[in-house]
Amino acid sequence: KGRVPALHEAFAETFPIGAAVNPATLEAAGPLIARHYNSLTAENHMKPEEIQPEEGVFTFEKADVIVGFAKKHGMRMRGHTLVWHNQTPDWVFEGKDGGPASRELLLSRMKSHIDAVVGRYRGSIYCWDVVNEAIHDKDADILLRRSRWLELVGEDYIQKAYEYAHQADPDALLFYNDYHEAVPEKREKMYTLVKNLLDRGTPIHGIGMQGHYNIYEPSIEEMRITIERFASLGLQLQITELDLPMFRNDDKRRDVTEPTEEMVEQQRVRYGEIFDLYREYKDVITGVTFWGAADDYTWLDHFPGKERRTWPMLFNDSHEPKPCFWAVVK
């Protein structure tokens, strides 16, 4: 087979190739990550609960380790994430009197969090997932997720987050990031949300399509429609959390201890088709990030209530390239 090319070198003319990491994966897979990827995202350690566990107490140590690794190896760094309903400590939403926080208090906390985090990494982080997963998943007529942000601030919490982030680092590219982006109803909601922000003059520059797919779904055609639809807003697009586990969503089997030949082949073909599609749209796609680095560690294997191996990455447990790697770099 000869020399294994570095993944990111195969995309030198198209877009950076990223991995989501944490200090433990940098420890366990440092050489693999440094060689194959040229962009990093913190899988967990820049989220509000990690960075500001108590009001005014900022814990940047682990995030700094990740940023330091990126710098040392000349990689880009994406920021993830500033305003989310999940992994945000309860104190954020609590008022001084024990009741819920007022709109004013919550907005001032949002601003000081964004100032501190975006300000600290100004010049080191080139783009931020400012607001993450703000859309309501069901009911076509309900746009926004019923989060505490929405409940306590109102709909403009989203716009405010972008304004604060832009003030904190006018050079950073600001993204809206969400999942199930290739499902028609969700896609239209994402489009509507971002279009409304643009119509109001909000500083937003890109859409993050998370890319939590599997080796069978969704279809390449739905992915293409999504790219076209979002690109029509004139924004740049990034795939921010790509992974292709070996199971369909409704496949509940827990006893598959090794991927079958059919799965390995299906994953090879699918990864190949997906990167062919991304190459076609290289003028609007400015980054593709995997939500992990190799099969030995992935959030999917620890999904509460569904713990099992899923083998979603391009590299196996021993950090060797899988057939799908060769389909992607070909």
Residues 133-162 that bind ligand G3I (CB under 6 A): none
Which residue is catalytic, options 43, 50, 163, 241? 241
Asked if 59 is part of the footprint of ligand G3I (rule: CB under 6 A), the reply reads: no
Residue nearest to ligand G3I (CB): 299
Tell me which of 43, 169, 181, 296 binds ligand G3I, using CB under 6 A.
43
Q: Is 87 in the site for ligand G3I (CB under 6 A)?
A: yes
Q: Minimum Å distance from CB 87 to ligand G3I?
A: 5
Minimum Å distance from CB 289 to ligand G3I? Answer: 11
Query: Which C-beta is closer to ligand G3I: that of 19 or that of 324?
Result: 19
Shorter beta-carbon distance to ligand G3I: residue 210 or 226:
210
Instruction: Tell me the C-alpha distance between 158 and 176, whole Å.
Output: 10
Q: Among 12, 68, 86, 249, which residue sits at the site for ligand G3I (rule: CB under 6 A)? A: 86
Residues 160-179 that bind ligand G3I (CB under 6 A): 179
Measured CA to CA, the distance from residue 19 to residue 5 in angstroms comes to 17
Q: Binding residues for ligand G3I, how many (CB under 6 A)?
A: 9
Among the listed residues 44, 59, 102, 112, the single contact to ligand G3I using CB under 6 A? 44
Residue 85 CB, shortest distance to ligand G3I, in Å, is 10
When asked if residue 241 is in the footprint of ligand G3I (CB under 6 A), the reply is yes
Is residue 232 involved in binding ligand G3I (CB under 6 A)? Answer: no
Q: Provide, rounded to whole angstroms, the least separation between the CB of residue 257 and ligand G3I.
A: 21
Rule CB under 6 A: say whether 50 interacts with ligand G3I: no
We find the least distance from the C-beta atom of residue 1 to ligand G3I, in angstroms, to be: 32
Q: Which of 136, 299, 301, 326 binds ligand G3I (CB under 6 A)?
A: 299
Q: Which of 210, 267, 286, 310 binds ligand G3I (CB under 6 A)?
A: 210
At residue 174, what is the residue type?
L
Helix H, strand E, coil C: the string for the chain is CCCCCCHHHHCCCCCCEEEEECHHHHHHHHHHHHHHCCEEEECCCCCHHHHCCECCECCCHHHHHHHHHHHHCCCEEEEEEEECCCCCCHHHHECCCCCECCHHHHHHHHHHHHHHHHHHCCCCCCEEEEEECCECCCCCCCCECCCHHHHHHCCCHHHHHHHHHHHHCCCCEEEEEECCCCCHHHHHHHHHHHHHHHHCCCCCCEEEECCECCCCCCCHHHHHHHHHHHHCCCCEEEEEEEECCCCCCCCCCCCCCCCCHHHHHHHHHHHHHHHHHHHHCCCCEEEEEECCCCCCCCHHHHCCCCCCCCCCCCECCCCCECHHHHHHHC
Smaller CB distance to ligand G3I: residue 145 or 272?
145
Smallest distance, ligand G3I to C-beta of residue 325, A: 21
Distance in angstroms (rounded) separating the CA atoms of residues 86 and 91: 13
Catalytic site includes residue 104: no
Give Rg (Cα) of the chain. Answer: 20
CA atoms within 13 A on the CB side of 81: 22
By CB under 6 A, the residues from 255 to 294 that bind ligand G3I are none
Please identify every residue annotated as catalytic.
Answer: 241
Q: Provide the binding-site residues for ligand G3I, judged by CB under 6 A.
A: 43-44, 86-87, 132, 179, 210, 241, 299
